[in-house]
Structure 1
């Protein structure tokens, strides 16, 4: 669950979407053993398709503010597919949202347990790490929040995602210089990570380093050109930098543009 308004980034999966079923009768004639394996796979695939649909419906209900109905969908996901980490994450994120709304300690405990179940099934689940880190902050345990993400980073020394999340935590506790260090490390670890460049751009823009921020936004956009907010930010910063240059030539003061806000699903 994200810090801004604690809205979650739902994960909708279909693990067997590219599988094309062979005619069962032809397989049966070829090998009865293959039929058994095929039927087992078909059952598993059906569960995953069903889970994906319920995750999607639950996400839609959540976005409409129907949290109880969303919970019911996510509960069905984990009941039908107990190894589905996204089902546990969506269930945890919705429970976390309700816990904050109601200041309900029992719901906070339940959400924490569900986040941990998600991580049991996917130790590198990005959204779940973020959600659990926020919950630990919400419940007055900042040391454990930082320890969670630092341990994740230690287990994955070449991955950018843990460092992006660490940077965000440090930015939220008003330590932008430390956040900058982790983001610079993130783009060194993975120079093709659009989210890392976007996070770096945002932080540099908020500090007033507009030319460098513009370069970082442009790099993020080049790596993922399906982000209209970033394209808009590139255009806005270009205008702002040109305006500042014109103002400097005329002796007027410069202005700092409003930074790009966190986006709900992808955070940075």
Structure 2
């Protein structure tokens, strides 16, 4: 199962659509070693991945109606594919925002819920639905949605990352920071949590700590050029600030005392 649009390039409903290649490959492998009746199901998943990928490309090009057709075919071929419902929901959500269309918002909300029916822990779907609830003036329900997800999965750090994002967007960075610190303590290998923590600390001006967090995220996932760019940029800024501080201190020491301002012993 392969959701549609690349996480790094396409924004929809305040969040990013994505590919999840490794999960799809794992599920396909499990299906392929099953008995013969499941082989056609595996074929459907492979077909769904192609349609999701094509829908992703169309979405990135702004061809939302054509993208919807691909995603509709995904769920028609595989009615239990949560990523197909998610992609349908997120694209419909994007159209609803563009057109300010209440009917489309309602349709997107229903599709997000269908996604969660098939995958109750679908990270991106929780995020998309929470954003839709915020977009439609229901912040209390958005927070309740993610808090309920977190309470049902007390050992999962991902809901805490999403809660942090909601609190940050609501103008409560300190609460967001608490949830992110909890997330990395709960799962020190969650590069997404470390990245969110780094971004938050950078936005609040805590550059030394942000640098450490970016470096940790990069060590866990070194295929993220954006993180490497932030590490380089912050390192350069900190070194520049340190050089400026040393220069200022040296200049001050070199200045003679004003006339008449001698020390008395």
TM-score normalised by L of structure 2: 0.84
Change (3 A) 1:141 1:52: same
The higher radius of gyration belongs to: 2
Query: How do 1:52-201 and structure 2 match up within 5 A?
Result: 52-201=49-198
Given that residues 160 and 186 in structure 1 are in contact (C-alpha distance below 8 angstroms), is that contact kept between their aligned partners in structure 2? yes
Q: Distance in 1 between matches of 2:199 and 2:108?
A: 30
Gap runs ≥5 in structure 1: 23-33, 253-268
Secondary structure at 2:83 match in 1:
helix
Report whether the alignment pairs 1:6 with 2:14.
Answer: yes
Q: In the comparison of the two structures, how many residue pairs are matched?
A: 238
The separation in 2 between residues aligned to 1:243 and 1:210, in whole angstroms, is 13
* Residues 183 and 196, structure 1, Cα contact 8 Å, conserved in 2: yes
Structure 1, 5-14 or 130-139: larger mean CA deviation: 5-14
Match of 2:212 in 1: 215
Q: Tell me, which stretches of 5 or more residues in structure 2 are unaligned? A: 1-6, 250-265
Q: 1:59 to 1:241 in 2, by over 3 A?
A: same
Counterpart Cα distance in 2 of 1:20 and 1:120 = 21
In structure 1, C-alpha distance between the alignment counterparts of 2:88 and 2:12, rounded to whole Å:
18
Change in 2 beyond 3 A, CA 1:15/1:78: farther
Cα offsets for 1:75-129 (capped at 9, x unmatched): 0100110000000000000000000000000000000000000000000000000
Partner SS for 2:14: coil
Deviations 1:48-87 (A, max 9, x none): 1111111111111100100000000000100110000000
Instruction: Render the CA deviation track for 1:116-143: whole Å, top value 9, x for unaligned.
Output: 0000000000000000000000000000
> Relative CO higher for 1 or 2, CA cutoff 8 Å, sep ≥ 6?
1
Structure 1 pair 4–180 and aligned structure 2 pair: CA distance change class (3 A): farther
Kept in 2: contact 1:78–1:87 (CA 8 A): yes
Using a 3 Å threshold, how does the CA distance of structure 1 residues 240 and 21 change in structure 2: closer, same or farther? closer
Q: Over aligned residues, Cα RMSD in angstroms?
A: 2.2
Query: What is the CA-CA distance between 1:248 and the residue it aligns to?
Result: 1.8
1:249 positional shift: 2.1
